[in-house]
Amino acid sequence: MVQPKMPRCWRVESKPHKFCPGCGHGIILKFLGEAIDELGIQDRVVFGCDIGCSLLAWDFFNLDTVQTHHGRTIPVMTGIKRARPELLCIAYMGDGGGYSIGAQHVVAAASRNEKIMALLANNTVYAMTGGQMAPTTLTGQKTETTPFGREPAVAGLPLQGPEMVAAIATEGAYVARGSISKPRQLKAFLKKGLENQIAGRGFSFIEALSACPTNWRTNAKETWAFVEDEMAKCFKVSEIKAPGAVEVS
């Protein structure tokens, strides 16, 4: 039987962004938009954004968007997905939202293998509230609440989020860590995460190393060096778990 042709999808449109100059959120979202465009799934996507600087994306795309309470984007997207499984749900958040106040939702979604995609921007601080220490703050990194640098004996080590998710998630999950300094690779990870959801295999979790020059108080050169050298030394940029494979690098 001849299948009726699907209506042609529109292109994802965005407005000039509201992030500070040099912010990583705009770069991550640009590649998310391109990934959605290239997969032609615009009419099925629901985009959820957290409190934190990610909320500035609430009217960024011409996609159905839900702006949620701090840390609650994953459960909101999970509810939408369970009610309307044909939709493709993306939960976008910062490291404070995903690894601190909303950490239980990351753990629950991973252990239940919820068929949504979570995308987490790791900029090592609570940016929107002025640059306090986050779970991902590097050892020795100065923030508003660690003026002498993060001390592991007091505050522990930086949280390895994707590694934690990969350890909990079951077969069918896709887990990766990309970086704004490797945009093509980041887009490939985003497409794989979305394809995993399209195939209905399981939870997709992608962390993106991001930048917050405003709270880091860095110029363009220092910002880039911090992402490419300091952050990448602590957080391994690679695929971590893919369906049908135990470990991919």
Ligand X SMILES: Cc1ncc(C[n+]2csc(CCOP(=O)(O)OP(=O)(O)O)c2C)c(N)n1
State the residues that interact with ligand SF4 by CB under 6 A: 19-20, 23, 25, 53, 123, 127-128, 212-215
Q: How far is the CB of 130 from ligand X (least distance, A)?
A: 9
Give the nearer residue to ligand SF4 in terms of CB position, either 25 or 115.
25
Q: If binding means CB under 6 A, how many residues of this protein chain bind ligand X?
A: 19
Q: Which is nearer to ligand X, 78 or 137 (CB)?
A: 137
Q: CA-CA distance, 140 to 18, in Å (whole number)?
A: 30
Dihedral sign from CA coordinates of 79, 193, 183, 160: positive
Confirm if 93 and 208 have CB atoms less than 8 A apart: no
The full DSSP string for 55-122 is GGGTTTBSSEEEE-STT-HHHHHHHHHHH-TTSEEEEEEEHHIIIIITHHHHHHHHHTT-SSEEEEEE
Of 27, 46, 51, 89, the residue at the interface with ligand X (CB under 6 A) is 51
d(CA 188, CA 208): 12
Which span sits near ligand X by CB under 6 A: 92-100, 140-148, 189-197, 198-206?
A: 92-100
- Separation in Å, CA 101 to CA 64, 157, 221, 225, 244: 25, 17, 32, 29, 32
Which listed option, ligand X, ligand SF4, none, makes contact with residue 114 (CB within 5 to 8 Å by class)?
none
**Residue with Cβ nearer ligand X (41 or 127):** 127
For the bound state, the minimum distance from the C-beta of residue 167 to ligand SF4, rounded and expressed in Å, comes to 28
Q: Find the binder of ligand X among 31, 47, 61, 126 (CB under 6 A).
A: 126
Name the nearest CA neighbour of 169 among 101, 93, 118.
Answer: 118
| 178 binds, options ligand SF4, ligand X, none, Cβ within 5 to 8 A by partner type | none
How many C-beta atoms surround the C-beta of residue 220 within 10 A?
11
Q: How far is the CB of 97 from ligand X (least distance, A)?
A: 4
Binding of ligand X at residue 53 (CB under 6 A)?
yes
Q: Which is nearer to ligand SF4, 75 or 158 (CB)?
A: 158
Q: Is 220 helix (H, G, I), strand (E, B) or coil?
A: helix
Contacting range for ligand X; rule: CB under 6 A; set: 11-19, 84-92, 123-131, 178-186: 123-131
Of 213, 240, 210, nearest to 228 (Cα)?
210
Among 12, 19, 27, 54, binds ligand X (CB under 6 A): 54
Please name which of 167, 173, 93, 170 lies closest in space to residue 136, comparing C-alpha atoms. Answer: 93
Q: Which amino acid is it at 109?
A: A
The minimum distance between CB 120 and ligand X, in angstroms, equals 9
45 alpha-carbon distance from chain centroid: 16
Closer CB to ligand SF4, residue 53 or residue 93? Answer: 53
Asked if 127 interacts with ligand X (CB under 6 A), we say: yes
Q: Kindly list the residues in this chain that would bind ligand X in the complex (CB under 6 A).
A: 51-54, 70, 93-97, 101, 121, 123, 125-129, 134
